[in-house]
Amino acid sequence: MDRILLPQSPVIDQAVLRDRRDRFMHRLGGAAAVIPAAPLVTHHADVEHAFRQNSDFWYLTGFDEPGAVALFLPHKTENPFVMFVAPKEPSAEVWNGFRWGCEGAVEQFGADLAHPIEELDQKLAGYLEGAEGIAFRVGRHPKVEPLVLAAWAQQLDRAPRSGGAALGLVAPCPLLHELRLRKSPEELEQMRLAARISAEAHELARQVARPGLNERQVQAVIEQHFLEQGARGPAYGSIVAGGDNACVLHYTSNNSELKDGDLLLIDAGCSVNDYYNGDITRTFPINGRFSGEQRALYELVLAAQEAAVAAVGPGATAEGVHGTAVGVLVEGLLELGLLKGERDGLIEQGAYRHLYMHRTGHWLGLDVHDVGAYRLGEHPMTLEPGMVLTVEPGLYVSDRLPVPEGQPAIEERWKGIGIRIEDDVAVTERGHENLTAAALKAAVAMER
Ligand code: GLY
Ligand code: MN
Ligand code: MN
């Protein structure tokens, strides 16, 4: 496969970022928003994890450094976009790498004004003056929060004297996350890139997997491909789960031997330079041949997944997509004798949940479990063009959960089979686009 090199930051077109900021500020009305970057996170002792920018901050700035804060000040006609950043400092950059500094924040990232982050304390209250409210997410940014609260307190103290309105503190999330939920053409391009690299990795994994290998040898092939293709790396802890390990939904130990006769479930996707993510699951027989039970359950999950993908389109709901998958699964489980009773009653009681215990999908974007509401009050969110969701039904047959009363005990021959099939699906004007169709999933393609 071709090696590609992705450009280093700044990676997002400035016009795109400006448009996002304009739309965000329009929604803020008279409130000012304080959006902090992610901090560096300790791995252990004095070692830090690789830096991962905060998705909200990234969406609005495209600035990939820790310890910065962006202010959005729609109440100011001049200089509404202000950044506080780590200033240039050769002695720090020689240890930890390049910084854009204040000049770079203005020239490369479109800030109207930029200051060293150390000055946030002294300048924040001034910038917030005249705003009708402060949009800041409390509870998430322990270093910035006291400064915002102090600035807020200062405004409240002055309000009686200055005659200004007392400020309210509001959450920026609903406004911003509504924007992030609907992907622009540029974002969809990045998601196609993440999907392509992730799908290729799954195809490679199926080629190398065989009895006797360790799960992590397959993980290595997948993650090597991510890096070779210029992605930042895995979007989340890759799940490479042979046999019964696949029945642990968040299995990430990836340290068991692959056994002849078992299935291998791989849930892995990459995060590209622009931070958009792929999230794909495929399941196939390690020795290249399904057993009868494995094939029966695989065909059932595939039928549920294909029906659920087909249900994605404008006007549908994620709830409806889930319902479609559950309907197919329950009917199939009844035919196989793994459930007994009447379809609708079983669905209503959730009597299938010892075999299928998670939802069928989630929003996908800058976060793997992306932001955006699933319901508006009583009503499930209606799918619209630009929204991207995963479709990932599965079946997990093990003794971990009790069989509900009245349901058949599970015969040994089914146990240790865990199957999930997951695609990333974008809603389009006319229906949907399966971004991860390049990762094969037909039963015949899973065999060799
Ligand atoms: N890989 C996480 C998920 O599928 O939701
Ligand atoms: Mn997944
Ligand atoms: Mn997923």
Confidence of residue 161 (pLDDT cuts 50, 70, 90): confident
Query: CA triplet 229, 387, 191: central angle to 5 degrees?
Result: 5
Q: Tell me how far CA of residue 436 lies from CA of 8, 196, 248, in angstroms.
A: 25, 7, 24
Q: Do residues 137 and 265 share a domain?
A: no
Range of the domain at 45: 14-178
CA–CA distance, 64 with 40 (Å, rounded to integer)? 12
Over residues 339-360, the pLDDT tens digits come to 999 999 999 999 999 999 999 9
Q: Which of 246, 294, 257 is nearest to 422 (CA)?
A: 246
- Residue 239 Cα to ligand 1 midpoint, Å, equals 9
In this prediction, residues 213-233 reach a mean pLDDT of 98
Same domain, 221 and 106: no
Q: Which amino acid, 89?
A: E
CA atoms within 13 A on the CB side of 350: 6
Q: What is the pLDDT of residues 356-367, one digit of tens each?
A: 999 999 999 999
Structure tokens at 402: 């009790």
Residue 9 lies in a domain: no
CATH code of the domain in which 412 resides? 3.90.230.10
Q: DSSP secondary structure string, 44-85?
A: ETTEEPPP---HHHHHHH----SS-EEEE-TT-SS--EEEEE
Where residue 166 falls among pLDDT bands split at 50, 70, 90?
A: low
State the Cα–Cα distance between residues 180 and 17, nearest whole angstrom.
12
According to the model, what pLDDT value does residue 435 have? 99
Instruction: State mean pLDDT over 66-74.
Output: 97
Is 30's pLDDT higher than 70? Answer: yes
* Residue range 246-269: mean pLDDT, rounded: 98
CATH number at residue 46: 3.40.350.10
Taking the centre of ligand 3 as the mean of its atom positions, its distance from the CA of residue 425, in whole angstroms, is 11
For residue 5, name the pLDDT band (cuts at 50, 70, 90).
very low
Instruction: Please tell me whether residues 75 and 217 are part of one structural domain.
Output: no
Phi, psi of 36 (to 5 degrees): -85, 150
What span, in angstroms and rounded, lies between the C-alpha atoms of 85 and 19? 22
Give pLDDT, residue 88.
Answer: 97
pLDDT, mean of residues 228-235:
97
Among residues 46, 348, 405, 429, which one is catalytic?
46
CA triplet 127, 128, 133: central angle to 5 degrees? 160
Residue 174 sits in the same domain as residue 189: no
Report yes or no: 281 and 267 within 8 Å, Cβ to Cβ. yes
Does the CB atom of residue 236 touch ligand 1 within 6 A? yes
**Strands, DSSP E only, in 91-244?**
113-116, 133-135, 168-170, 233-234, 239-242
pLDDT at 264 over 70: yes
pLDDT at 163 over 90: no
Decide if pLDDT at 292 tops 80: yes
Q: Are 290 and 447 in contact (CB under 8 A)?
A: yes
Who wins on pLDDT, 176 or 154? 176
pLDDT of residue 7 exceeding 70, the answer is no
| Domain annotation covers residue 8 | no
Considering only 75-79, 120-124, 163-167, 294-298, which range has the smallest mean pLDDT?
163-167
pLDDT over 50 (residue 8): no
Mean local confidence (pLDDT), 73-82: 96
**Section 46-75 average pLDDT:** 97
Average pLDDT, the chain: 95
pLDDT of residue 245: 98
Q: Is the pLDDT of residue 9 over 60?
A: no
- At 167 the pLDDT is 77
Question: Can you give the pLDDT at residue 338?
Answer: 98
| pLDDT band (50, 70, 90) for residue 227 | very high
- Counting ligand 1 atoms within 8 A of each CB, the residue from 282, 390, 424, 436 with the most, and so the one to mutate, is 390
Active site residue 374: no
Residue 6 located in a structural domain: no
Domain membership flag for residue 2: no
What is residue 11's predicted lDDT score, i.e. its pLDDT?
Answer: 61
**Maximum CA extent, the chain:** 80
* Cβ of 392 less than 6 Å from ligand 1: yes
User: Does 239 map to a domain?
Assistant: yes
Single out the residue in 178, 208, 241 at which a domain terminates.
178
Pocket lining: 374 vs ligand 1, CB cutoff 6 Å = no
pLDDT at 3: 46
Residues 305 and 397 in one domain: yes
Among 178, 196, 224, the domain-final residue is: 178
Report CA 230 to chain centroid distance, whole Å: 19
DSSP characters for 379-397? EEPBP-TT-EEEE--EEEE
191 and 136 part of one domain: no
Q: Are residues 373 and 270 in the same domain?
A: yes
Q: Smallest Cα–Cα separation from 266: which of 251, 244, 282?
A: 282
Residue 5, domain member (yes or no): no
Report how many domains make up the chain: 2
Q: Could you say which of 289, 369, 400, 413 is catalytic?
A: 369
398 and 314 inside one domain: yes
Considering the domain architecture, whether residues 163 and 214 belong to the same structural domain is answered as no
Distance of CA 69 to the CA centre of its chain: 23
Q: Hey, what amino acid is at 155? A: Q
Same domain (yes/no): 157, 194: no
On whether both 369 and 245 belong to a single domain, the answer is yes
Concerning whether 319 is annotated as a catalytic residue, the answer is no
pLDDT-derived band at 6 (thresholds 50, 70, 90) equals very low
Is the CB–ligand 1 distance for residue 367 below 6 Å? no
Domain assignment present for 3 = no
Residue 284: pLDDT band with limits 50, 70, 90 = very high
Selection from 222, 178, 192, 201 nearest residue 374 by Cα: 178
Average pLDDT (378-400) is 97
From 163, 178, 193, give the residue that closes a domain: 178
User: Which residues is 35 bridged to in the sheet?
Assistant: 70
